[in-house]
């Protein structure tokens, strides 16, 4: 017992120290270079409950080494992200986010959620400088951010909110700004617009304890807390609740992550409960804060996903089932061509004369869908993200396209915001190309007007609500909206961590298993369609389970998905059912059979044991070319000491988790033992 306890202590210490040694990007050290092969090579898996039974080291140990991501059809490697040509001048007026307050990791007050990782939310001058230099920002983009924030600060209402109609009341009488909202005048969008404006300040690392806008942030946070209703929402009128609830929750989540302010914890928990309770059966959200409208709106859903993702990243508990259902929404909403529909009922949807559904599509929805997919665990090199990425690369930011009459091709600040987030997650040449066009397009649109004396006009720093007839978002949100979202877009360099560097997933394989437990056949088919796009650590264990599904069509779909992940464990299912299918389907399945048989014909996979926990029988192995279900012999000095089975592998890594099937030798497996997979 003493020896086992000592081993667990050692393993726990390894779990704490190993990431520090392997990931020098955390804290004040420089960011690592972007990956040079697969874009998602540096994404790690969230440990499942089964993994954590072994020890914390089991889930923390996978190394960022040679990729073993399966080469799915059509997948390509992403090249390196662009880095600025030279160091930028120091950014002035940048102060530490955590100055004067405990850093997040020091949060030990009872009743508070688990603290957010400090490096995930480090927007200090040094961290921002590194990010700007690394990811392609410039002095001009930072100057534009500061000008945008100055305009927003000057037009904040005395009560701490931002008024999309009457912000000009804050202007001097002889220099009144233009760009007031013109539509949806009867709807109260104060919480949503104010949340968006507050996010712009938080994105720059400015809080109520640090930076030049402490009073602005303090008043805005207080205003949002005052606007929150007892039920957790932020809207008195249900017709506008979707955007209000999502944006206010997102802003408070980022504020909490940066400050660890205890007074917002309970409001955030109530806000999360509100969002969870208003999710539709099919996984999306609607304008109305009830789960039974039957309308799934991809635009509102995208903001909800951001809000819940930020809450989870900040340490506020979010039910994984909610994120699973959101992932299923975007699987339903995305077509074979990558387009994402706006809604499946009401506004943005209609039936033709033959009662066939006619959805409304647009570039903004496609970009929002791609951003959410990558946030929810899609493989960056999956077939759907690659199709969507191609569309975005063909439609880079263009000022001339702001005024197109064809809605499906029209550009907007909304499209640029989501397109920027989506391409930033991808990195490489995709991001370099998009970012160059973004800077060239967005910066000249910012108001830089001065009077005859050379003084800045009051409109200086704002972005006008451009578009064909201003576009819906411009008409509804006015200049406050357009300035806030353009400022947020230019903060992408340091407000977000690219997907290829992020090591966090907010649901795991066991969460999908839990969801499947109550699913009908149609719903299980939708799950398979989604899983085939997700990271291998999430999808593969669940797909293996589904090989035993009573509905053999579902089992066959799971076997096909596994074959595309270079896993041969579904071959028996394909062989069982192939002769029952039409000839054209047999052709496709024969190709997958050949692919699986080629994997089986390879020489045994060779590797070694990295860590072993005798209490649970779980181990981490360094084993290239493995797959879930592979049988592994553990050998020492030519003798077999144990037999194991792989239960999880990780995207872009050769480290896998295995469970003991049988102990054979007189002693247990140990680090360094040879592992042979057959």
pLDDT at 545: 97
pLDDT at 267: 98
Strand partners, 534: 378
pLDDT at 329: 97
Q: Distance between CA 296 and CA 506 in Å, rounded?
A: 22
Q: Residue 573 to residues 69, 70, 224, 387, 579: CA-CA distances in angstroms?
A: 23, 20, 55, 29, 11
pLDDT at 184: 67
pLDDT at 185: 60
- 332's enclosing H/E stretch is helix 320-333
DSSP state of 451: -
Does pLDDT of 359 surpass 90? no
DSSP state of 152: H
Confidence of residue 350 (pLDDT cuts 50, 70, 90): low
Contact between 285 and 296 under an 8 Å Cβ cutoff? The reply is: yes
Q: Residue 44 to residues 19, 508, 536, 608, 654: CA-CA distances in angstroms?
A: 11, 12, 10, 20, 11
Q: What percent of the chain has pLDDT over 90?
A: 68
**SS3 assignment, position 244:** helix
Which pair of structure tokens corresponds to residue 171? Answer: 């202007």
Phi (first) and psi of residue 132, to 5 degrees: -60, -45
Query: Which of 153-157, 365-369, 495-499 has the lowest average pLDDT?
Result: 495-499
Q: Distance between CA 181 and CA 96 in Å, rounded?
A: 35
pLDDT at 656: 96
Burial class (CB in 10 A: 0-12, 13-18, 19+), 11: buried
Residue 428 backbone class (left: φ over 0; alpha: ψ -120 to 50; beta: rest): left
> Tell me: the pLDDT tens digits for 656-678?
999 999 999 788 999 999 999 98
Picking from 505, 351, 501, 353, the residue whose alpha carbon sits closest to that of residue 428 is 501
- To the nearest 10°, the Cα dihedral for 242, 267, 26, 70? -40
Which pair of structure tokens corresponds to residue 521? Answer: 């056949």
DSSP state of 187: S
Does pLDDT of 472 surpass 90? no
Query: Which of 33-42, 140-149, 207-216, 598-607 has the lowest average pLDDT?
Result: 33-42
pLDDT at 126: 84
> Tell me: the pLDDT tens digits for 423-439?
999 999 999 999 999 99
> Tell me: the pLDDT tens digits for 153-175?
999 999 999 999 999 999 999 99
Confidence of residue 264 (pLDDT cuts 50, 70, 90): very high
pLDDT at 496: 83
Does pLDDT of 55 surpass 70? no
pLDDT at 409: 77
Q: Distance between CA 413 and CA 426 in Å, rounded?
A: 20
pLDDT at 498: 72
> Tell me: the pLDDT tens digits for 235-252?
988 888 999 999 999 999
Residue whose entry in the numeric block shows the structure tokens 């930076």 = 211
> Tell me: the pLDDT tens digits for 59-109?
333 333 233 444 443 333 333 333 333 343 333 333 222 222 333 333 434
Name which residue leads in pLDDT, 314 or 1.
Answer: 314
Which pair of structure tokens corresponds to residue 323? Answer: 């994120």
Name which residue leads in pLDDT, 3 or 443.
Answer: 443
Contact between 434 and 396 under an 8 Å Cβ cutoff? The reply is: yes
Sequence spans of domains, the chain: 136-155+181-227+448-496, 509-600
Q: In the predicted model, what is the mean pLDDT of residues 304-309?
A: 96
Q: What is the mean pLDDT of the chain?
A: 83
Q: In the predicted model, what is the mean pLDDT of residues 293-305?
A: 96
Confidence of residue 475 (pLDDT cuts 50, 70, 90): confident
Query: Which of 187-191, 618-622, 631-635 has the lowest average pLDDT?
Result: 187-191
Contacts of residue 237, defined as CB under 8 A and 6 or more positions apart, other chains included, come to 187, 188
Burial class (CB in 10 A: 0-12, 13-18, 19+), 29: exposed
pLDDT at 345: 83
Does pLDDT of 572 surpass 90? yes
> Tell me: the pLDDT tens digits for 11-43?
444 444 344 333 333 333 333 333 333 333 333
């Amino acid at each position: 017992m003493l020896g086992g306890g000592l081993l667990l202590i050692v393993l726990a210490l390894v779990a704490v120290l190993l990431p520090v040694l392997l990931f020098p990007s955390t804290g004040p050290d420089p960011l690592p270079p972007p990956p040079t092969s697969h874009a998602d090579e540096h994404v790690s898996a969230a440990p499942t409950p089964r993994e954590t039974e072994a020890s914390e080291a089991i889930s923390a140990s996978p190394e960022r080494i040679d990729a073993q991501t399966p080469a799915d059809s059509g997948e390509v490697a992403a090249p390196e992200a662009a880095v600025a040509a030279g160091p930028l001048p120091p950014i002035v007026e940048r102060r530490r986010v955590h100055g004067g307050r405990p850093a997040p990791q020091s949060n030990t007050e009872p009743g508070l959620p688990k603290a957010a990782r400090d490096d995930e939310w480090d927007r200090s001058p040094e961290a921002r400088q590194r990010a700007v230099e690394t990811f392609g920002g410039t002095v001009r983009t930072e100057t534009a951010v500061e000008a945008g924030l100055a305009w927003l600060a000057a037009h904040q209402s005395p009560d701490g909110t931002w008024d999309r109609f009457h912000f000009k009341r804050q202007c001097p009488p002889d220099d009144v700004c233009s760009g007031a909202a013109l539509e949806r005048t009867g709807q109260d969008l104060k919480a949503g617009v104010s949340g968006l404006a507050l996010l712009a300040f938080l994105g720059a690392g400015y809080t109520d304890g640090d930076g030049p806008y402490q009073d602005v942030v303090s008043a805005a946070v207080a205003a949002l807390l005052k606007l929150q209703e007892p039920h957790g929402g932020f809207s008195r009128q249900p017709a506008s609740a979707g955007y209000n609830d999502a944006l206010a929750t997102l802003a408070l989540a980022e504020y909490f992550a940066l400050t660890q302010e205890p007074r917002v914890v309970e409001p955030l928990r109530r806000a999360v409960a509100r969002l969870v309770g208003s999710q539709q059966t099919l996984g999306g959200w609607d304008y109305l804060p009830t789960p039974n409208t039957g309308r799934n709106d991809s635009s509102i859903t995208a903001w909800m996903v951001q809000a819940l993702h930020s809450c989870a990243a900040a340490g506020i508990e979010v039910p994984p089932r909610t994120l699973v259902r959101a992932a299923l929404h975007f699987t339903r909403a995305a077509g074979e061509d990558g387009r994402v529909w706006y809604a499946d009922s009401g506004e943005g949807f209609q039936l033709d004369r033959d009662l066939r559904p006619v959805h409304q599509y647009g570039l903004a929805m496609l970009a929002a869908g791609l951003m959410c997919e990558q946030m929810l665990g899609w493989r960056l090199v999956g077939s759907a993200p690659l199709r969507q990425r191609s569309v975005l690369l063909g439609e880079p930011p263009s000022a001339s396209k702001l005024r197109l009459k064809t809605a499906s091709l029209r550009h907007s600040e909304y499209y640029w915001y989501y397109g920027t987030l989506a391409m930033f997650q991808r990195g490489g040449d995709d991001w370099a190309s998009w970012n160059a066009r973004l800077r060239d397009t967005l910066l000249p649109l910012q108001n830089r007007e001065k009077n005859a004396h050379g003084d800045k006009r009051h409109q200086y720093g704002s972005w006008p609500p451009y578009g064909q007839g201003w576009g819906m978002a411009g008409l509804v949100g006015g200049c406050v909206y357009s300035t806030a979202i353009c400022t947020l877009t230019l903060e992408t360099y340091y407000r977000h961590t690219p997907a290829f560097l992020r090591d966090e997933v907010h649901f795991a394989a066991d969460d999908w298993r839990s969801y499947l437990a109550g699913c009908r056949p149609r719903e299980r088919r939708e799950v398979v369609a989604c899983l085939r796009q997700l990271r291998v650590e999430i999808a593969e264990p669940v797909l293996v389970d589904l090989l035993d599904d009573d509905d053999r069509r579902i089992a066959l779909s799971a076997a096909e998905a596994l074959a595309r992940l270079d896993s041969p464990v579904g071959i028996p299912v394909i062989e069982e059912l192939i002769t029952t299918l039409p000839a054209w389907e047999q052709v496709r399945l024969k190709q997958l059979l050949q692919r699986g048989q080629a994997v089986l014909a390879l020489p045994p996979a060779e590797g070694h044991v990295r860590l072993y926990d005798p209490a649970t029988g779980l181990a981490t192995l360094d084993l290239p070319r493995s797959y879930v279900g592979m049988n592994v012999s553990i050998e020492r000095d030519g003798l077999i000491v144990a037999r194991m089975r792989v239960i999880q592998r990780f995207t872009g890594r050769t480290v896998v988790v295995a469970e003991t099937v049988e102990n054979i030798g007189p002693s247990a497996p140990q680090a360094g033992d040879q592992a042979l997979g057959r």
